[in-house]
Structure 1
């Protein structure tokens, strides 16, 4: 529903002959997706923990980064890959003078990265008032740039 509302909103500001190029992460082997979000270099983990660093710096927070760990999950049925930060202990955090309590194993949802099949992309385009004109995929068919025309 959110993706359709977003795309329908884009259509409202486009003219009848306009095109839209939009990139999608395609559904693929679930383990491949989990491996990307649980990368050995820790890039995704660092990316998510950086938000806590920024809260500390920019909003006068006091998160202890080592008191949280990254966790990713992927649901191949609906294509949602979610990243969380999990509290490793009971803790109190302050942000700009407002106190928050985190219980051990409590989570913060950091992101939802949606994966799509080409059929789902077609359905999204049609439901949003577009038609798919062309696809450009990478060599492995992991990602696609779709060219949509206003229908």
Structure 2
């Protein structure tokens, strides 16, 4: 996360002045999908708030052919409780901007969440140095850059 301000914000939660965006594609089974999004965003929130990097992803099956991908992230200088509070507030904003949509995001100064029906972050496996027993595996997850643009006709 990158943030700039003329005011000091280190270790201070800021939940206002957010930006919401929805994927314009609609769904048919809105009630079930919105509940799946909420449940998995809560799981991602719990994981991010307890992670030292304040970052987590969560995946779930929506249909036989579609998976839901969720991401939750806080500024790493926030406490776990402040991170959780910020992300819970962001989740509460989702129905206002993206209910029934295939994707959505809420970007706040201290935290952000996003969900889509396509994989929008990259998961890479990093192997530690080999040991005689089993080779431990560490996952590194990186959010892909957000592209914002305008179409003109």
Higher relative contact order, structure no. (Cα contacts within 8 Å, ≥ 6 residues apart)? 1
Same topology, TM > 0.5: no
Larger strand proportion, structure 1 or 2? Answer: 1
The structure whose Rg is larger is 1
Q: TM-score, normalised by structure 1?
A: 0.29
